[in-house]
Amino acid sequence: MQEHARGKSALHIQLFNSILKDINPDQASSKNRKAHSSRTRNYLYNTIIGLLSKFYSARSIDGQLHSLSQEIDFLYERSLIQQASKRIDRARKLAYRYEKFTMLLSLFSTERKIMANLPNSPLLNTIEKQEISTNKQLQELQHLQNLTLKIYTLHRSIKSKADPGLTLTLRNLMTHELPTNDHQLQSFLAIRQYHHGASLGHLALQEYPTAYAHRKKELELFEAHPHMIEEYLKFYQTGLNNMLELCRLMNNEKTYEKVVSTLEETHHKYTINQTPFQRDYGLTSLYVNQLGWYNSKHNFKAGTHLIETLETDAIERLPYTYQEKKLYTYFNCMLCYFGSQQYALALKWANKLLNQHPDDHLDKATCSTIRLLNILIHFELKHYDMLEYLTRSYEYYLKKKKTLKSELELMRFMNSLDTINSRGQNSMRNLHEQLLKLTSIESEKAFIEGSLILIWLGTKQNSLQNT
């Protein structure tokens, strides 16, 4: 398994795919045969999960420290103090190197027990000082983790609700509770957590250059401590993916290409350090950002080429709690095919989206775009009998939310979509002009550009003029 894990395609992926395939009815005609096949599949699946869990635990620093801790307890109980002390030294060096503060505190506690019979030992004072220092570092890290969680929650709420009150709350939180810089922070993890939280906060406030600067410092911190990349790979990949999002928002093509290259390299280089879930999540995050970049650049040819090479099993295997990531991948696939005028393929991804209840996971602007493009896709495929139902459904959806002016303009246009004639051409021209005016408003601009509606209107007007 270790040998396969170093390649591009890990053995467990092949095993999972073969196990999860449907059994051919001709090969399992009897009920007993089917039941036996089901039990075999279940046994193999659980066995592989168990073996993988042991394999990754043994390789991880946490796994190594846990094993050393068990050995120390075993030796201490048998009064083999010298051997226990050697393992404590080894575990302490490992825990310090990777900043495993909780484990360090546990080791200090064990050392105190060993030193109980030596009350005047100078080592006791040293252990006490180290314990106090480690406690401070742990508390500092936990404080920053709690702040980051608050920032992330507000970031998600602002993204879905666009409430000015939430924006003010976030700004106050970052001004009064988040440190102004990382100079006083005592550990690698605390500095990383600070820049991660600050970048998320400034991203939510649409202060992209500041968010970019914090994210850049976080990545530089990892690159200055390469051993931390291996242990905290998920954090590093999260930082890289967030940097891709900022590159798209800031139109920074040079950095974008460099970060994509780094992400792809980490997926191949550190395959053995990733659990199956981490690998699937990392790949899906990369797909979302790459497709989002191509769609924002209207480079639909490159986007459709990427979709053809997607490892779709990795996307589908994501647990339900990560449904948002999966749906944003579907959404970008739909956008890409819509922009390239491959409407039958766009419909495939639109149906996948709508069947997964996007309102439970995606922001309102994205859900509105899905419904809007679904109508236009059916129109392009000449499914005229469905237009009235879909339009009414979209109208009902808009009544349940705070509606943008551009959505109302589009709704009026949708009601006249049954035929395209000279009157329809004028209607398109008027709609195009109205939407262009509305792009001066930031929220309207984000929806109009994100839905590709101006591109579609331009294409339709050109085709009507040529007929």
Give the pLDDT confidence score for residue 8 in this predicted structure.
Answer: 42
Type of residue at 359: D
Q: What per-residue confidence (pLDDT) applies to 36?
A: 64
Among candidate residues 114, 65, 109, the one with its CA nearest the CA of residue 91:
65
CA angle 73–76–77, rounded 5-degree value: 85
pLDDT of residue 9: 46
- Give the residue among 372, 375, 279, 281 at the shortest CA–CA distance from 328: 281
Interhelix angle for 405-414 vs 384-399, to 10°? Answer: 150
User: Residue 302 is encoded by which pair of tokens?
Assistant: 């490159």
Helix axes 188-204, 164-176, angle to 10 degrees: 150
Domain boundaries, the chain: 2-132, 133-270, 275-362, 389-467
Beta carbons of 363 and 375 less than 8 angstroms apart: no
Tens of each residue's pLDDT in the chain, 467 residues? 444 444 444 555 555 565 555 445 454 456 666 666 666 766 666 666 666 555 555 567 888 888 888 888 888 888 888 888 899 999 999 999 999 999 999 999 888 888 776 666 677 788 889 999 999 999 999 999 999 999 999 998 887 766 778 999 999 999 999 998 889 999 999 999 999 999 999 999 999 999 999 999 999 999 999 999 988 999 999 999 999 999 999 999 989 999 999 998 988 888 776 778 888 888 899 999 999 999 999 999 999 999 999 988 889 888 888 898 999 999 999 999 999 999 999 999 999 999 988 888 888 889 999 999 999 999 999 998 888 899 889 888 888 878 888 988 888 888 776 655 545 677 788 888 889 998 888 888 888 988 999 999 888 877 767 65
Cα dihedral 80, 86, 87, 92 in deg (nearest 10): 140
Alpha-carbon radius of gyration of the chain: 28
- Residue (of 269, 320, 265, 263) closest to 288 by Cα position: 263
Decide if 141 contacts 133 (C-beta within 8 A). Answer: no
C-alpha separations of 61 from 40, 58, 100, 187, 230 in Å: 34, 8, 9, 18, 10
| Secondary structure (H, E, C), 399-463 | HCCCCCHHHHHHHHHHCCCCCCCHHHHHHHHHHHHHHHHHCCCHHHHHHHHHCCHHHHHHHHHHH
State which fold the 133-270 domain adopts.
1.25.40
DSSP state of 24: P
CA distance 311 to 280: 9
Write the DSSP string, 265-298: HHHHHTGGGS-HHHHHHHHHHHHHHHHHHHHHTT
In whole angstroms, give the CA distance from residue 29 to residue 17: 22
